Amino acid sequence: MFRIVQLSDLHCGQQFFLPQHLERAISETNELEPDVVVISGDLTSNGFKDEYALARDYLNRIECGSMVVIPGGHPLSVRRPGTWVSWFQLVSEIPDFQAYRGTAAPQFANEAELECAKVLDYYGLPWLYEPTTFVLEEDDEGRVLEAFSPDFYLPEQDLYLEITVMKQSLVTRKNRKLRKLRERYPAVKIKLFYKRDIERLGQRYGLKLAS
């Protein structure tokens, strides 16, 4: 069964914002072990940077490998009317990557992806962010039922990297996707970086990775 959880109207920073309610929602979301989490706005009340930072800190605690985040109309209408703004970009310093080989600026889902990109760039390893979506399952009429977009691709190594900061007990579904990918695309090389691998990178290079 494919499970989707939707959360909305966080309104971080509002006068009447009650953190215990959001903490409970995050806890119940993690217990459900969803395949996708959709945050459909509003993230903040006024669109200020510290409010987005607070929203990011809460959403980083959601243990799901696929998350869609929409800032919402309210904060954008206050600060930036009629403009799409990446909430993650507002609270993160995105470097001028030298080894990145994509055309559009990468839109990282979390800090762990950003910091791993910094490591690749530091060592001059050419990389792309989510350049390929692999179809894993289709119905009888060819409609896509399941797909997978690995986080990074290293063209010189012909290697895909998938980053996960989920608890080890929740990585089962992601490993299942990797198995299906290898079965359907046996020539594709892919490596899953677990939370422990990322923590080792953080310790070795002094990175501020998401917990």
Distance CA 106, CA 129 (A): 6
* Number of domains composing the chain: 2
> Could you tell me the CATH number of the domain that includes residue 198?
3.40.960.10
Return the beta strands (E) in the chain as ranges.
Answer: 4-7, 36-39, 67-69, 128-129, 134-138, 144-148, 152-154, 159-163, 190-193
Torsion angles phi and psi, residue 112, rounded to 5: -60, -40
Please indicate, yes or no, if residue 8 is contained in any of the structural domains: yes
Please indicate, yes or no, if residue 58 is contained in any of the structural domains: yes
3-state secondary structure (DSSP) of residue 88: helix
Please indicate, yes or no, if residue 182 is contained in any of the structural domains: yes
In a structure prediction context, what are the per-residue pLDDT tens digits for the chain, which is 211 residues long? 788 999 988 888 777 788 898 999 999 999 988 888 998 878 887 777 677 778 888 888 888 878 888 777 655 544 444 434 445 555 555 678 999 999 888 878 777 788 788 888 888 889 999 999 999 999 999 999 999 999 999 999 999 999 887 666 667 778 888 999 999 999 999 998 876 776 676 566 555 544 3
pLDDT of residue 90: 53
pLDDT of residue 155: 94
> Could you tell me the CATH number of the domain that includes residue 36?
3.60.21.40
The residue with tokens 């929203």 is 55
- This prediction's pTM: 0.58
Co-location of 119 and 192 in the same domain: yes
Co-location of 84 and 144 in the same domain: no
The token pair at 100 is 């990145």
Please indicate, yes or no, if residue 71 is contained in any of the structural domains: yes
Please indicate, yes or no, if residue 103 is contained in any of the structural domains: no
Please indicate, yes or no, if residue 96 is contained in any of the structural domains: no
pLDDT of residue 139: 92
pLDDT of residue 211: 39
Domain span holding position 194: 111-205
